[in-house]
């Protein structure tokens, strides 16, 4: 899986990594490289968390187009 991440430096000097496609998936590090490594672990945890959420039967799902 490939995901885009956004990394920026905060006011305390740490680098904060965020995955725009995964709401609430954040991590940080002392360097950009560390933040990028840490966000990989955060992505794994985020995906595991989403998998454990309630699954809906197909007959209860409705597709919409916007």
How is the chain split into domains, by residue range? 6-60
pLDDT digits (tens, 9 = 90+) for 5-49: 999 999 999 999 999 999 999 999 999 999 999 999 999 999 999
pTM score of the predicted model: 0.76
Q: Give yes or no for a contact between 31 and 15, defined as CB atoms under 8 angstroms apart.
A: yes
What does the alpha-carbon distance between residue 16 and residue 25 come to, in Å, rounded to a whole number?
11
Question: How many residues in the chain?
Answer: 66
For the domain made up of 6-60, the CATH class stated in words is alpha beta
The confidence score (pLDDT) of residue 51 equals 82
Q: Which helix (H) or strand (E) holds 9?
A: strand 6-9
Closest among 47, 20, 17, 21 to 34, alpha carbons compared:
17
Q: Give yes or no for a contact between 27 and 38, defined as CB atoms under 8 angstroms apart.
A: yes
Tell me the pLDDT band of 53, cut-offs 50, 70 and 90: confident
The confidence score (pLDDT) of residue 55 equals 79
């Amino acid at each position: 899986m490939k995901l885009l991440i956004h990394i920026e430096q905060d006011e305390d000097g740490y680098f904060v990594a965020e995955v725009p496609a995964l709401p609430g998936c954040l991590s940080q590090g002392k360097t950009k490289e560390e933040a990028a490594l840490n966000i990989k672990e955060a992505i794994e945890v985020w995906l595991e968390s989403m998998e454990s959420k309630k699954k809906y039967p197909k007959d209860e799902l409705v597709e919409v187009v916007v």
